Chains A and B, each alone.
Chain A
Amino acid sequence: MTEPHLPDGGAAIATADPDQQVPGRSEPPGPSRNLLRFVGKKVAITAGLLLGVTILTFLLVQAVPGDPTTTNLSETAQKDPSVVAAYRAKWGLDKSLPVQYFTYLNHLLHGDLGTSQSTGNPVASDLGKYVPATLELAIPAMILALAISVGLGLWAAVRKDKPADHAIRGVALVGLSTPSFWLAIVVLYIFFYKLGWAPNGGRLSARYTPPEHVTGMYTVDALLQGRPIAFQDALWHLMLPVLVLTALTVSVLIRFVRSAMLEVLDQDYIKAAYAKGLSRRTVLRRHVLRAGLVQVVTVAGLAFASLLSGTVLIEQIYSWPGLGQYAYRSALNLDLPAIMGVGLFVALVYTLVNLIIDILYGVIDPRIRLS
């Protein structure tokens, strides 16, 4: 059976052996064609993925013994068949499954994600509200986590087997072993309940009106609208959840960063850089970091995805009206359009993040072309 599709298997050889290329003689075919094909392929894959997500969620929710009418009508109302029938008719639940599905797809193609049965709003507008809330947690947490873990990971790698390394690895391991929701509770207990330094949840103190929806992120919007006090307050509310998310992400990332950096430190080109007489600082900053970033980017992308899901629990504890809470509630209420909306959105983010990673690879590592 060996090599039933040899050309594919051989691609690895071709990239692993770029010896044959000489500048000016054999540049790969023009980037524009490649880029087009690359983008086309990505779009096709994404579309397939999204379709898969809709089918998956649809089937999943249909397999469920529950019925959305139950959670969206009072118990008394459910005993009245005419009320139930009216409800089912309103939401199209009386149609056959394929019809329901294709109706949904048809709407989807027109950019309509449907209406959430549990909030009564268009799913798209719900997402518009909840997604920025989650991003407001996830983005700073990701940035902080990256900065911290790259710093500490590099430090640990450089000081391999020294006390600093042991300490960093130990803390990361403990972090990795800590249940996020538990950590969130402990932190809340300490900083809110005991010390009173932090608010207890929510995005903004009640006495402030949320800034008008521009980006949906309160801190950004407050700044844009010139409301420094609201900005401060929003920032203050961000503190604990971001702290917890950062801690978790850092502990996930550090070990990868460290091993990536160790791998790099072990490379001949680092020895060669030292052999040239460069200072340690230059070597670490210019040579080690740069090379280590390729792998950091890989895991960072994945860590971002996991961070998004980590927020489900954190949002629960910090009363953060984000995507995670929305997903949780929709799941419990079997709110099909909402679950699908969340699924689609997350799948989109997933492909987007992958795309960004691919692009970053290209930026960081010239060996990797768009292919």
Chain B
Amino acid sequence: ACSSEDSGGNGGSSTLTVDTSFVVKSLDPGAVYEPTGNVIVHALYDTLVTFDGSDISKPVPDLAKSYTAAPDGKSFTFVLRDDAVFNDGSKVTAADVVFSLNRLKNLKGSAAAIVKDLSASATDEHTVVVTSAVLNPNVPTILAEPYAGILSAKLAKQHGGEDGPDASKTDKLGSYLNTATVGSGPYRIESFDAASRIVLTANDKYWGNKPAFKRVVFQNMDVQNQKLTMSKQPKSEIALDLAGDSLSGLPGALQQSGSADSYYQLRLHADPAVSEVTSNRDWVNALQAALDYKGLAALFGSSGVPAAGIVPTAYAGALPESEAQTQDLAKAKSLAEQSGVASKSVKLLYPAITFGGVDLGTIAAKVQSDAAKAGLKIELDPAPIASFLDQRRGGKVAFSFSPQLLDYPVAASVVADLMPGGGTAQAAGWTADRADPATVAAANKVLTALDAKEQVAALQDWQRLMINHSPYITLVYNSGTVVASADLKGAVYTAAGWVVDIADISSR
């Protein structure tokens, strides 16, 4: 296309380089789900509301200048601003919003499950009402996520976009969105190479504050290379996957920003028919006492935090660090003995991947060796990610381990999933009759809380109960981290799902 940048190469002011290891399958908001995709889609498509920097406590206006929630907690009204335009210059209207949200739901992509209870309608050109079939105070948060990005209905339809009920079959827009952007975000796609390099250019029709960098290049780079690159103190460059131990030893001039938003959890099947070991409460408690949470956290370097409850510290409702779990080998040993099944070994299934800068095999090995100190026998069983997920979905896996992220940045979102009747609990054989009624009650209290404060308190109570009565052991929280070169500002990590707002980054 252009050869101009050959000359203006080392100025570094016009191009922001983002080093990250990725496989981006799609830049279609309706299908996106992997982290880099989210980062990019967030920069390409504006949403109704958004979060400001790293603050995820409350959604703030974006395309909607305001929103109101109905008292029943099921219906939300968004009023659109009138100066927002798509990158072809046309105005953003309520019809576009309805089209986008319907398409999201009917496309049956990864996010469809989250929005399946929502429906949107336009009351006028500037007003959209989103209704949830069930009580859900978190609808605005959900609509802040990249998958809820708003497309120009006109452009989308021109290129095969569909929002009807059978959109999953008829929609043909997906691959077009890898080459062009039909959104209103600060950037548009310039070139897309799913595995090596994705380039964004500033949207010159952007309605808001123009981003500082004209061009953003996402380079596919493994962690080690990211570290090497950043160690060289480059200009206008950020790295997204440095985490855990790979953060140590970086030059001090680099800026780091992060917050612990992921949690690493062991799941122990509660059904004796699946495993007499993991369904044994004493054994589970013995394991819980045997683990060296500090040591586990240290595997993640500075970014790891020993788990206190379930909710990572990035989110409201997390237990204070003072309540972090601790190792108690004496207790572990006696519980192990008491359990009567300590002589049996059990397989720990985990995906053979590196996540957040740490090889999961290392964590599993640490768990194994800690358990061994209390006389508990664990065998490691790594599996390719596909086979891991498949097995675990089957609901017959006795003992498994994986990192977890929240679907959207509200801690309560995990509760429904983890409580008896939720998807994860189901797969772990944790049915209501196996569960402690108090724990179930505490969970229900979280879900019905309408007031944020009330919800936080309920969450904490729930977590305290979960520690000794659930089939989950949370090991550590880990933080995603944005490492930025010294000349940048605004490169802050957000637990909101899009890692960092590219458009906020500028040169000092």
A: residues with CB less than 8 A from B are 64-68, 70-80, 82-83, 86-87, 89-90, 118-121, 126, 129-130, 133, 188, 192-193, 196, 200-210, 212, 225-227, 229-230, 316-317, 319, 321, 325-326, 329, 332-334
- Could you say which residues of chain A place their CB within 8 Å of the CB of B178? 120-121
Q: Are A209 and B25 in contact (CB under 8 A)?
A: no
Give CA–CA (A342, B229) in the complex, Å.
31
- Could you say which residues of chain B place their CB within 8 Å of the CB of A120? 25-26, 31, 174-175, 178, 194
Q: Are B33 and A77 in contact (CB under 8 A)?
A: yes
- Could you say which residues of chain B place their CB within 8 Å of the CB of A316? 222
Give CA–CA (A316, B224) in the complex, Å.
11
Separation in Å of the B168 CB from the closest CB of chain A? 4
Task: Judge whether B385 is part of the interface by a CB distance below 8 angstroms.
Answer: yes
Q: Are B194 and A207 in contact (CB under 8 A)?
A: no
When A74-B110, A80-B112, A207-B17 are in contact, do A333 and B33 touch as well, CB less than 8 Å?
no
- Which residue of chain B has the shortest Cβ distance to A129 in the bound complex? B193
- Could you say which residues of chain A place their CB within 8 Å of the CB of B116? 80
Task: Judge whether B501 is part of the interface by a CB distance below 8 angstroms.
Answer: no
Q: Are B197 and A210 in contact (CB under 8 A)?
A: yes
**Stretch from B1-9, B52-60, B64-72, B118-126 that touches the partner:** B1-9
B: residues with CB less than 8 A from A are 1-3, 5-7, 9-10, 12, 15, 17, 23, 25-26, 31, 33, 108-114, 116, 168-169, 174-175, 178, 191, 193-197, 199, 217, 219-222, 225, 228-229, 231-232, 237, 384-391, 393, 407, 417, 423
- B108, B219, B220: the one within 8 Å of A86 (CB): B108
- B10, B17, B110, B194: the one within 8 Å of A121 (CB): B194
When A193-B228, A326-B195, A333-B385 are in contact, do A207 and B9 touch as well, CB less than 8 Å?
yes
Q: Are A334 and B109 in contact (CB under 8 A)?
A: no
Contact sample, A vs B, 10 pairs, CB 8 Å cutoff: A66-B387, A76-B113, A79-B393, A83-B110, A83-B113, A126-B194, A207-B12, A319-B220, A325-B195, A332-B386
Q: Are B195 and A119 in contact (CB under 8 A)?
A: yes
- Which residue of chain A has the shortest Cβ distance to B393 in the bound complex? A78
- Which residue of chain A has the shortest Cβ distance to B7 in the bound complex? A229
- Which residue of chain A has the shortest Cβ distance to B25 in the bound complex? A120
Q: Are A212 and B1 in contact (CB under 8 A)?
A: yes
Q: Are B15 and A206 in contact (CB under 8 A)?
A: yes
Interface pairs A-B: 3 shortest CB-CB: A321-B196, A70-B389, A66-B386
- Could you say which residues of chain A place their CB within 8 Å of the CB of B33? 73-74, 77
* Central interface residue in B9, B110, B111, B417, by most chain A CB within 10 Å: B110
- Which residue of chain A has the shortest Cβ distance to B426 in the bound complex? A79
When A86-B168, A196-B232 are in contact, do A70 and B6 touch as well, CB less than 8 Å?
no
When A65-B387, A86-B168, A225-B3 are in contact, do A76 and B195 touch as well, CB less than 8 Å?
no
- B23, B112, B217: the one within 8 Å of A77 (CB): B112
- Could you say which residues of chain A place their CB within 8 Å of the CB of B168? 86, 89-90
Give CA–CA (A68, B25) in the complex, Å.
14
- Could you say which residues of chain B place their CB within 8 Å of the CB of A200? 221, 225, 228-229
- Could you say which residues of chain A place their CB within 8 Å of the CB of B391? 65
- B169, B222, B423: the one within 8 Å of A319 (CB): B222
Q: Are B225 and A209 in contact (CB under 8 A)?
A: no
- Could you say which residues of chain A place their CB within 8 Å of the CB of B225? 200-202, 319
Q: Are A70 and B385 in contact (CB under 8 A)?
A: yes
- Could you say which residues of chain A place their CB within 8 Å of the CB of B390? 65-67, 70
Separation in Å of the A62 CB from the closest CB of chain B? 13
- Could you say which residues of chain A place their CB within 8 Å of the CB of B385? 70-71, 332-333
- Could you say which residues of chain B place their CB within 8 Å of the CB of A64? 386-387
Q: Are B237 and A76 in contact (CB under 8 A)?
A: no
Separation in Å of the B192 CB from the closest CB of chain A? 9
* Central interface residue in B9, B12, B196, by most chain A CB within 10 Å: B196
How many residue pairs link A and B with beta carbons under 8 A? The number is 168
Give CA–CA (A75, B110) in the complex, Å.
8
Separation in Å of the B403 CB from the closest CB of chain A? 11
- A90, A119, A196, A226: the one within 8 Å of B23 (CB): A119
- Which residue of chain B has the shortest Cβ distance to A204 in the bound complex? B197
- Could you say which residues of chain B place their CB within 8 Å of the CB of A205? 9
Give CA–CA (A316, B222) in the complex, Å.
8
Give CA–CA (A325, B26) in the complex, Å.
19
- Which residue of chain B has the shortest Cβ distance to A231 in the bound complex? B6
Q: Are A119 and B113 in contact (CB under 8 A)?
A: no
- Which residue of chain A has the shortest Cβ distance to B199 in the bound complex? A209
- Which residue of chain B has the shortest Cβ distance to A207 in the bound complex? B9
Q: Are A119 and B10 in contact (CB under 8 A)?
A: no
Separation in Å of the A218 CB from the closest CB of chain B? 11
- Could you say which residues of chain A place their CB within 8 Å of the CB of B222? 201, 316-317, 319
Q: Are A89 and B169 in contact (CB under 8 A)?
A: yes
Separation in Å of the B395 CB from the closest CB of chain A? 11
Separation in Å of the B146 CB from the closest CB of chain A? 12
Q: Are A70 and B195 in contact (CB under 8 A)?
A: no
Q: Are B111 and A74 in contact (CB under 8 A)?
A: yes
- Could you say which residues of chain B place their CB within 8 Å of the CB of A71? 385-386, 389
Q: Are A67 and B386 in contact (CB under 8 A)?
A: yes
- Could you say which residues of chain A place their CB within 8 Å of the CB of B9? 205, 207-208, 229
Give CA–CA (A192, B199) in the complex, Å.
25
Q: Are A227 and B3 in contact (CB under 8 A)?
A: yes
- Could you say which residues of chain A place their CB within 8 Å of the CB of B199? 209
- Which residue of chain A has the shortest Cβ distance to B26 in the bound complex? A120
- Which residue of chain A has the shortest Cβ distance to B221 in the bound complex? A319
Give CA–CA (A64, B389) in the complex, Å.
13
Give CA–CA (A61, B407) in the complex, Å.
30
Give CA–CA (A94, B2) in the complex, Å.
46
- Please name 6 further chain A to chain B contacts, defined as beta carbons within 8 Å, in addition to the given A120-B178, A126-B194, sorted by A numbering: A71-B386, A120-B175, A200-B221, A208-B6, A229-B7, A334-B387
Q: Are B5 and A209 in contact (CB under 8 A)?
A: yes
Give CA–CA (A196, B12) in the complex, Å.
19
- Could you say which residues of chain A place their CB within 8 Å of the CB of B6? 208, 227, 229-230
* Central interface residue in A74, A80, A121, A202, by most chain B CB within 10 Å: A74
Separation in Å of the B115 CB from the closest CB of chain A? 11
Q: Are B113 and A80 in contact (CB under 8 A)?
A: yes
Q: Are A329 and B23 in contact (CB under 8 A)?
A: yes
- Which residue of chain B has the shortest Cβ distance to A70 in the bound complex? B389
Give CA–CA (A143, B40) in the complex, Å.
40
- Could you say which residues of chain A place their CB within 8 Å of the CB of B221? 200-202, 319
When A70-B389, A121-B175 are in contact, do A321 and B195 touch as well, CB less than 8 Å?
yes
Give CA–CA (A212, B222) in the complex, Å.
25
Give CA–CA (A193, B231) in the complex, Å.
9
Give CA–CA (A333, B387) in the complex, Å.
9
When A66-B387, A120-B25 are in contact, do A209 and B195 touch as well, CB less than 8 Å?
no
- Which residue of chain B has the shortest Cβ distance to A115 in the bound complex? B175
- Which residue of chain B has the shortest Cβ distance to A203 in the bound complex? B196
Give CA–CA (A229, B2) in the complex, Å.
13
Give CA–CA (A200, B108) in the complex, Å.
40
Separation in Å of the A108 CB from the closest CB of chain B? 21
Give CA–CA (A193, B174) in the complex, Å.
41
- Could you say which residues of chain A place their CB within 8 Å of the CB of B26? 120
* Central interface residue in B1, B12, B113, B217, by most chain A CB within 10 Å: B113
Give CA–CA (A316, B21) in the complex, Å.
11
Q: Are A70 and B393 in contact (CB under 8 A)?
A: yes
Q: Are B228 and A192 in contact (CB under 8 A)?
A: yes
Separation in Å of the A84 CB from the closest CB of chain B? 9
- Which residue of chain A has the shortest Cβ distance to B174 in the bound complex? A120
Q: Are A90 and B112 in contact (CB under 8 A)?
A: no
- Which residue of chain A has the shortest Cβ distance to B196 in the bound complex? A321
Separation in Å of the A197 CB from the closest CB of chain B? 12
- Which residue of chain A has the shortest Cβ distance to B24 in the bound complex? A119
